[in-house]
């Protein structure tokens, strides 16, 4: 049986092959393997190398940090960034395993603490008291092999996912923000629960928001989960928000510090253009040619008009309500925080006015954290959900290809498929929520 290290090597090898395959396809086919955004970021890096602004490159709408990361594209080899993003892609798989092992370990420690508390109440045995103190001070308790295996299988769900492998090797940098989100979650869920730990989690969360705006939807869930106390009444929620504990203050301080520092630094270098292109533009962005969104056809028909205030409200209000509901349902407990982040990211992508393939990694990187909780789903549903989702996506890609490369007027067909894809997403989320089992069903062996 292959070890986790061998699986890592195998998944790295596959990604290296895909990068080189992409070079061949780009040279032979009209359908380019390399993401157009990768060329944009590379051009931005060339401007940076000339001590100029990356925003001199038309359509560069990312943090300047991304251009700095791929400077070797210009200095060494044009595919350097693809290898770099593939490494971040692999890091996500490793983080999935680490986070799940920590969750299992934390649950094991919690159960043993409760048992030992009962035993020490009835028996003041020195050994039991010593053992209790060891558990309280040690987060590296040995886990049964089946739980280690479950953590590894969840990581393979990401490492061998063809969709995510292709997105990273095409040169998309969203895996950077995804890895920062998972790193932040890793530190937040560590069992020590120290001030430094939460401050570090905040720094990473703020940096992920700087890279991509979507993690801002996770902030309330992070904040409430840090309290880790039962919240049932409105008074409880108000107290949790208005009277933060030390860990919550550390989280907020770290998040604000990293976000404000990076924003101020690049504003000093590149001025208002940085704020508009990397942040404000994404709040008003339209895309009438490469967009899975339900609002695709509306944007196409109204491309020459500015949306009214009512249109903006009706566009963003449904996802805002759903994000709040999911946060209050799953985001207030450490045990369910991973699923909360997945569901929030899924809603943000599904209801967004612009949806492209690379956005899918936002929630796919978080889904493996909850695979262990879908115990009542059954094989039939487990097969039906991804098949339905991929068929709905494929149905959109055909008319989109005919529009983009053949010049056919397929806008109405794309809109129909956008509606089909939207409802397949809604059904997918409904089935996952309905079959999500909060309990770990952990038994001490």
pTM for this predicted structure = 0.89
- pLDDT bin (cut points 50, 70, 90) of residue 441 is very low
- pLDDT bin (cut points 50, 70, 90) of residue 221 is very high
> What is the CA 404 to chain-centroid distance, rounded?
29
Written as six digits, the tokens of 397 are 């890609």
- pLDDT bin (cut points 50, 70, 90) of residue 439 is low
Measured between alpha carbons, how far is 261 from 406 in angstroms, rounded to an integer? 46
Measured between alpha carbons, how far is 233 from 220 in angstroms, rounded to an integer? 17
Measured between alpha carbons, how far is 278 from 265 in angstroms, rounded to an integer? 14
What is the average pLDDT across 261-272?
Answer: 95
Measured between alpha carbons, how far is 267 from 290 in angstroms, rounded to an integer? 30
With a cut of 60, say whether residue 442 has pLDDT above it: no
355 or 123: which leads in pLDDT: 355
With a cut of 70, say whether residue 108 has pLDDT above it: no
Secondary structure (H, E, C), the chain = CCCHHHHHHHHHHHHHHHHHHHHHHHHHCCCCCCCHHHHHHHHHHHHHHCCCCHHHCCCCCCCHHHHHHCCHHHHCCCCHHHHHHHHHHHHHHHHHHHHHHHHHHHHHHHHHHHHHHHHHHHCCCHHHHHHHHHHHHCCCCCCCHHHHHHHHHHHHHHHCCHHHHHHHHCCCCHHHHHHHHHHHHHHHCCCCCCHHHHHHHHHHHHHHHHHCCHHHHHHHHHHHHHHCCCCCCHHHHHHHHHCCCHHHHHHHHHHHHHHHHHHHHHHHHHCHHHHHHHHHHHHHCCCCCCCCCCCHHHHHHCCCCCCCHHHHHHHHHHHHHHHHHHHHHHCCCHHHHHHHHHHHHHHHHHCCCCCCHHHHHHHHCCHHHHHHHCCCCHHHHHHHHHHHHHHHHHHHHHHHHHHHHHCCCCHHHHHHHHHHHHHHHHHHHHHHHHCCCCCCCCCCC
Q: Tell me the backbone φ, ψ of residue 444, rounded to 5 degrees.
A: -75, 130
Q: What is the CA radius of gyration of the chain?
A: 23
What is the average pLDDT across 386-391?
Answer: 91
In this prediction, residue 228 carries a pLDDT of 65
What's the pLDDT tens digit per position in 346-383? Answer: 999 999 988 888 899 999 999 999 988 887 788 888 88
- pLDDT bin (cut points 50, 70, 90) of residue 294 is confident
What's the pLDDT tens digit per position in 321-339? Answer: 999 999 999 988 888 999 9
In this prediction, residue 375 carries a pLDDT of 74
In this prediction, residue 314 carries a pLDDT of 81
In this prediction, residue 129 carries a pLDDT of 55
Q: Of 108-112, 220-224, 334-338, 352-356, give the lowest mean pLDDT range.
A: 108-112
Q: Per mean pLDDT, which of 115-119, 205-209, 409-413 is the most reliable?
A: 205-209
pLDDT averaged over the chain?
86
What's the pLDDT tens digit per position in 1-25? Answer: 678 999 999 999 999 999 999 999 9
Q: Per mean pLDDT, which of 135-144, 202-211, 293-302 is the most reliable?
A: 202-211
What is the length of the chain? 445
- pLDDT bin (cut points 50, 70, 90) of residue 258 is very high
């Amino acid at each position: 049986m292959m070890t986790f290290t061998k699986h890592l090597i195998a998944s790295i090898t596959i990604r290296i092959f895909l990068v080189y395959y992409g070079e061949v396809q780009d040279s032979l086919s009209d359908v380019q393997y390399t993401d157009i955004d990768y060329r944009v970021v590379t051009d931005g890096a060339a401007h940076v190398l000339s001590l100029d602004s990356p925003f001199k490159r038309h359509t560069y709408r990312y943090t300047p940090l991304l251009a700095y990361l791929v400077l070797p594209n210009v200095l060494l080899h044009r595919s350097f960034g693809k290898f770099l993003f593939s490494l971040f892609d692999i890091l996500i798989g490793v983080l999935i395993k680490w986070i799940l092992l920590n969750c299992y370990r934390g649950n094991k420690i919690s159960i043993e603490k409760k048992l030992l508390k009962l035993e020490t109440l009835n028996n003041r045995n020195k050994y039991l008291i010593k053992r209790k103190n060891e558990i309280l001070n040690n987060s590296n308790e040995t886990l049964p092999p089946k739980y280690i295996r479950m953590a590894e299988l969840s990581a393979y769900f990401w490492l061998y996912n063809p969709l995510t492998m292709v997105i990273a090797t095409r040169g998309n940098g969203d895996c950077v923000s995804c890895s920062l989100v998972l790193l932040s979650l890793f530190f937040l869920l560590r069992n020590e629960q120290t001030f430094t730990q939460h401050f570090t989690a905040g720094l990473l969360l703020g940096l992920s928001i700087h890279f991509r705006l979507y993690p801002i939807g996770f902030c309330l869930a992070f904040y409430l989960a840090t309290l880790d106390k039962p919240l049932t009444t409105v008074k409880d929620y108000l107290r949790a928000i208005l009277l933060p504990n030390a860990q919550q203050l550390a989280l907020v301080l770290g998040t604000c510090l990293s976000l404000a520092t990076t924003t101020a630094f690049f504003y000093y270098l590149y001025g208002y253009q940085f704020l508009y292109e990397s942040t404000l533009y994404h709040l008003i962005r339209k895309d009438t040619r490469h967009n899975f969104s339900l609002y695709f056809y509306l944007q196409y028909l109204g491309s020459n008009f500015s949306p009214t205030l009512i249109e903006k409200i009706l566009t963003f209000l449904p996802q805002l309500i759903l994000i709040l509901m999911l946060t209050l349902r799953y985001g207030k407990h450490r045990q369910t925080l991973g699923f909360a982040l997945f569901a929030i990211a899924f809603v943000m992508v599904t209801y967004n006015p612009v949806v492209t393939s690379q956005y899918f990694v936002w929630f796919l990187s978080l889904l493996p954290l909850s695979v262990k909780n879908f115990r009542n789903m059954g094989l039939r549903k487990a097969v039906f959900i991804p098949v339905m989702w991929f068929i709905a996506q494929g149905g959109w890609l055909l008319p989109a290809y005919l529009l983009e490369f053949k010049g056919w007027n397929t806008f109405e067909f794309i809109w129909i498929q956008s509606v089909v894809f939207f409802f397949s997403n809604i059904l997918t989320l409904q089935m996952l929520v309905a079959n999500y089992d909060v309990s770990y069903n952990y038994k001490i062996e």
